[in-house]
């Protein structure tokens, strides 16, 4: 997901205390987090020692109703799980719901499928005041999984696994769905940097000089964001 309106060259400056300054702006805060499957907790990441870190699901508390009429929650879920690509790696059409992937997603404890483990960990995350599992038509019918699996679906599920590994679902304050690294916590912020086409997530830190800076945690995929809807005035953001 690129932002064509800010595709200029990055502006990088090094200032006092070796702090790097980049031009960009904060889009909004992380409001809710999905759970992490046990395998995801094995990834070595010092951020998981942070006192704010929670591996269990954290429900959003600030997000208003789903804001985008042209993108349904179901379409956002389907696209987010595969990073907006189909079984051929082609970018999905905007607003496409990909019912095949959602319909084949079930709560089947007997299936050793990492993609299903990820969905189980995030099934209760609320979106538009409903849990994510409410948007999966056959969540309680394990037969649907076996009736719908074909070569295309296997590729889609593998795509889903590759994009969700070491990641968890998150809800941004405008009620947008995305996935972020496991180490991200509620109240971290999503930032767009000049010259970088994907949003990044960072935590706020307060330096010895009492100036707010940010510590980068990695890129994020946020489904449903329009190219110009969230553009704000560029600022100098300090990173440590």
Report pLDDT digits (tens) over 208-233. 667 788 999 988 888 766 555 666 77
Residues 21-59: tens digit of each pLDDT: 888 889 889 999 998 877 655 555 656 556 566 778 889
d(CA 99, CA 94): 14
Q: Would the pLDDT of 101 be above 60?
A: yes
- How many separate domains does the chain show? 1
* Burial (CB count within 10 angstroms: exposed 0-12, middle 13-18, buried 19+), residue 208: exposed
Which of 51, 52, 8, 49 shows the shortest CA–CA distance to 33? 52
Show the 3-state SS of the chain: CCCHHHCCCCCEEECHHHCEEEEEEEEEEEEEECCCCHHHHHCCCHHHHCCCCCCCCECCCCCCCCCCCCCCHHHHHHHHHCCCECCCCCECCCCCCCHHHHHCCCCCCCCCCHHHHHHHHHCCCEECCEEHHHHCCCCCCCHHHHHHCCHHHHHHHHHHHHHHCCEEEEEECCCCEEEEECCCCCCCEEEEECCCCCCEEEEEEECCCCCEEEEEEEECEEECCCCCCCCCCCEEEEEC
d(CA 182, CA 37): 10
Which of 142, 143, 141, 121 shows the shortest CA–CA distance to 132? 121
Residues 156-202: tens digit of each pLDDT: 888 888 888 888 899 987 778 888 888 898 899 999 888 887 889 99
Q: Structural domain of residue 46, as residue ranges?
A: 4-239
Residues 114-145: tens digit of each pLDDT: 788 888 889 999 888 889 999 998 898 877 76
Q: Would the pLDDT of 92 be above 70?
A: no
Q: What are phi and psi of 67, to 5 degrees?
A: -90, -10
d(CA 86, CA 69): 23
- pLDDT value at position 134? 93
């Amino acid at each position: 997901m690129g932002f064509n309106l800010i595709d200029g060259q990055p502006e990088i400056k090094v200032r006092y205390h070796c702090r790097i300054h980049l031009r960009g702006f904060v889009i909004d805060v992380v409001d809710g987090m999905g759970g992490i499957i046990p395998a995801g907790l094995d990834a070595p990441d010092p951020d998981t020692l942070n006192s704010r870190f929670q591996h269990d699901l954290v429900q959003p508390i600030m997000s208003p109703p789903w804001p985008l009429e042209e993108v349904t929650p179901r379409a956002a879920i389907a696209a987010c799980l595969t990073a907006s690509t189909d079984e051929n790696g082609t970018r999905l059409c905007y607003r496409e719901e990909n019912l095949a992937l959602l319909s084949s997603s079930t709560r089947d404890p007997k299936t050793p499928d990492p993609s299903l483990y990820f969905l189980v960990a995030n099934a209760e995350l609320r979106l538009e005041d409903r849990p994510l599992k409410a948007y999966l038509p056959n969540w309680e019918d394990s037969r649907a999984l076996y009736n719908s699996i074909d070569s295309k679906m296997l590729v889609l599920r593998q795509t889903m696994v590759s994009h969700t590994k070491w990641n968890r679902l998150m809800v941004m304050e405008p009620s947008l769905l995305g996935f972020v690294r496991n180490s991200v916590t509620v109240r971290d912020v999503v930032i767009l940097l000049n010259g970088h086409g994907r949003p990044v997530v960072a935590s706020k830190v307060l330096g010895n000089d009492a100036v707010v800076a940010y510590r980068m945690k990695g890129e994020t995929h946020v489904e449903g964001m329009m190219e110009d809807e969230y553009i704000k005035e560029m600022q100098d953001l300090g990173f440590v």
